[in-house]
Amino acid sequence: MSRSFGIAAINGTSVRLHWTFLLFLGLIAASAFMSMGLSAARDIMLLIILMFACIVLHEFGHISVARKFGIETPEVVLLPIGGLAKLKRIPNEPEKELAIAIAGPVVNFVLFGLLVLLLGRWPNWQALSELAEGKINLIEQLAIFNLVVGVFNLLPAFPMDGGRILRALLAFALPHSKATSIATRIGQLLAVGLGLAALLMGNLLLAAIGVFIFLAATTEERIGRIRDAIGGLPVAQVMVTGHPLFSETDPISCALDEILHTDSDEFPVLTSGGELLGFLLRSDVIRHAGDAGAQKTAGEIMRTDIPVVPMHYRAEKAADLISGGAPIVGVTDRRGGFAGIVNWRNLLDAMEIDSAIARRSQQLDKRTSL
């Protein structure tokens, strides 16, 4: 997730704020201050910060279970519409996916229970709508918020936890890809319904959430189809080769030339002995293009955090890394030298070629059965 700021690191997972989240906090603070004055604005900010603390706890519910299954969890990003825990991979085993997905909402239901105990009575549902008038009842409003978040996340739509729960339940009986495509269809339908209802109610935030869910469901389906297309192939068969090679001391102006005159957007940086040091990415090269006449060298701006897999590994490994947030995946040959790159574009190409072949063979089947 680009343009986010780390605010804390908990047990090796960094908690980051996306810039849109800071903008969102600023807008709320400004509008509360202008309509209700300083003390109401301060109380509302405190409530919102506590709400997001509950969301961080929700994400750490997922993270603690994922860790138990040995899955790395590098970061949590907070967006205005909630939190996203990044897992290095989503397990294929339905029981593991189910346990990870359900752990988040469980945290909110536990928090709801604790806050109700603290309140000493059942919350009054009006308390949340009184928020708009500047009336703050911290514990009561936080309790209701946790219940709403827990229930909302159980909606059976990606990337809501309910979407993953649904897919895991379907995957107990069906192949993983079939389970994904049914779960994404249901998610897309739900997102369209939510978006239309939100527009009718004039609730733009809810409409934005509808669009977000629709896009996320579509991405999830694509990842499922990519996994089908490359299933069982070695990564050597899906990687792109023939990239212009760079050494550490090359100025980035050379990379700018390559970006302009070739189709390559990623460039490996190698030692003179052919050993892989890192990668230059198009976005980084362009960002540095204005720096002192692009006199920086490849070694200064190359990325050394790009994951690398040996060429005999399964291609799904590369797809997992890319869907987990890696911009590209490097591929090395048997001696550890640079062999090629896997990126989103060529994974999508593999998917489209696979779909075209499947359509063609369906047509042939139809013809022979007529």
Active site (catalytic) residues: 59
Amino acid at residue number 122: W
Q: If binding is defined by CB under 5 A, does position 97 make contact with Zn ion?
A: no
Assess contact for 107 and 153: CB atoms under 8 A.
Answer: no
Query: Which of residues 94, 104, 163, 327 is near Zn ion by CB under 5 A?
Result: 104
Smallest separation, CB 25 to Zn ion (Å): 21
Q: Is the CB of 76 or the CB of 255 nearer to Zn ion?
A: 76
Helix, strand or coil, per DSSP, at residue 78? strand
CB-count burial class (<10 Å; 0-12, 13-18, 19+) for 141:
buried
- Residue 167 structure tokens: 């897919």
Say how far apart CA 199 and CA 202 lie, in whole Å: 5
Smallest separation, CB 153 to Zn ion (Å): 5
Eight-state DSSP code of residue 274? S
Q: Report in angstroms the alpha-carbon separations of 15 from 60, 100, 177, 186, 307.
A: 10, 19, 32, 31, 21
Span interacting with Zn ion, options 7-15, 27-35, 97-105, 348-356, rule CB under 5 A: 97-105
CB-count burial class (<10 Å; 0-12, 13-18, 19+) for 337:
middle
Q: Is the CB of 161 or the CB of 221 nearer to Zn ion?
A: 161
Say how far apart CA 49 and CA 57 lie, in whole Å: 12
Smallest separation, CB 52 to Zn ion (Å): 14
Total binding residues toward Zn ion, as defined by CB under 5 A: 2
Say how far apart CA 71 and CA 65 lie, in whole Å: 9
Span interacting with Zn ion, options 29-37, 101-109, 267-275, 305-313, rule CB under 5 A: 101-109
Smallest separation, CB 204 to Zn ion (Å): 23
Span interacting with Zn ion, options 154-162, 179-187, 195-203, 284-292, rule CB under 5 A: 154-162
CB-count burial class (<10 Å; 0-12, 13-18, 19+) for 357:
exposed
Q: Closest CB to Zn ion belongs to which residue?
A: 104
Query: Which of residues 75, 97, 140, 161 is near Zn ion by CB under 5 A?
Result: 161
Smallest separation, CB 75 to Zn ion (Å): 15
Residues 45-84, one symbol each (x = binds Zn ion by CB under 5 A, - = not), give: ----------------------------------------
Which stretches of the chain bind Zn ion, using CB under 5 A? Answer: 104, 161
